[in-house]
Structures are given as C-alpha cells and as structure tokens.
Amino acid sequence: MKLTSQAQAFVLHFGEMGSRWGFNRTVGQMLALLTIQSEPLNADQLAQALKISRGNVSMGLKELQAWRLVELHHLPGDRKDYFTAAGSIWDMARTVFEERRKRELDPTLSLLRQLLLNEPQDEQEARAQERMQEVYDLLELLDRFANTLSRLDQKDLLKLMRLGSGLSKLLALKGRKS
C-alpha cells in the first residue's frame, strides 16, 4: 500500500499528536491510517504502509484495542484480522477523553481523597492539605463538567463549542457592568 503525500503528512502529524494524547507516535500513526482508510486493514498492510515491523503493529493494535479506538473485522474466507477506526471522529474523541479521564483524573482524585482524610501533623502539612484541597476541588469540578459534556449528543456538543467565544464575550460584558 502506497500513501499519497497528503495522507502521509496527515499520518505523520497524527503520530506526533498521539504522543500528546497519551499513546506513542507509532500507535497514533496507525490510528490515523485506519481513520482515513475506507476499507479495513490487516496488520501486514499497516506494517507495509507505515514501514514498521509486524511486531510493532501487533503491539500497537493491542494498545488501540485497549483504548477502544479500533474495531476488529473478519472477511469471509480470510483468516486474518482486519481493523477499522471505531466509530466517527466524535466517537473516537469522546473515547480518548473518557480513557484519559479513567487513566489520569480518576486515580488522582482517589489519591487526593485519601490524603485529605489524614489529620495534618503540623502547620506545614496543614498548608499542604489546603493546597491539595484546592487541587481536588478544581479536578472535581472539571470531572463533573466532563461528565456533563460526555452525556451530550454530538449536535448539542457542537452547539456548545460554537457558543464558547460568545460566552466569553458575554462574561466580559457582564464584568464591565458589575
């Protein structure tokens, strides 16, 4: 499989972005390729297109499955596993968001809850707990906001996102009147 220069530029950039979203560059490239392909691809096709080892593809596919970002398909008469991106771009964005929350935010909130149950032993520890409480409150607020957003359907989420700049202007105007 030969990629066009446009597809190759997208795949390479998506790999760089993947490393910022919580998975490695190769996994990001695999997801990008699966996202833009109209037909399911098998591991050999992914390895050839991305010029990476079959073992690297195998590990990457396992990671993408753990993230719930790819779907497994079987073709009649073919014993190979084929893969496609799981759902729409919106579905995948929501999945990445949910997985990152599960992997990063939830454990942090759990640890902070546990630490805040302890009585401070001195003034320094009391000050540290005050700051931890502030972090906890912020993360808890973000978590509630994220839960609300995750329950919105794509149409309403898109409306809300488009309102974003208007809301900041409204809040700025309200601040001037106060």
What pLDDT, on a 0 to 100 scale, did the predictor assign at position 62? Answer: 97
Average pLDDT estimate for 142-157: 89
Residue 170 has pLDDT above 90, yes or no: no
Q: Taking the model in full, what pTM does it have?
A: 0.77
* pLDDT single digits (tens) 29-54: 999 999 999 999 999 999 999 999 99
Residue 175 has pLDDT above 80, yes or no: no
State the chain's mean pLDDT as an integer.
92
Q: How many residues does the chain have?
A: 178
Q: Which of 24, 25, 23, 50 is nearest to 36 (CA)?
A: 50
Give me the DSSP letters along 83-111: EEE-S-HHHHHHHHHHHHIIIIIHHHHHH
What pLDDT, on a 0 to 100 scale, did the predictor assign at position 68? Answer: 94
Please report the sign of the dihedral spanned by the C-alpha atoms of residue 45, residue 48, residue 49, residue 50: positive
Q: Which of 124, 126, 129 is nearest to 114 (CA)?
A: 129
* pLDDT single digits (tens) 83-129: 999 999 989 988 988 988 999 999 999 999 999 999 999 999 999 99
Torsion angle of the four alpha carbons 83, 88, 92, 98, in this order, in degrees rounded to the nearest 10: -130
Q: Let me know if 28 is exposed, middle or buried by CB neighbors in 10 A (0-12, 13-18, 19+).
A: buried
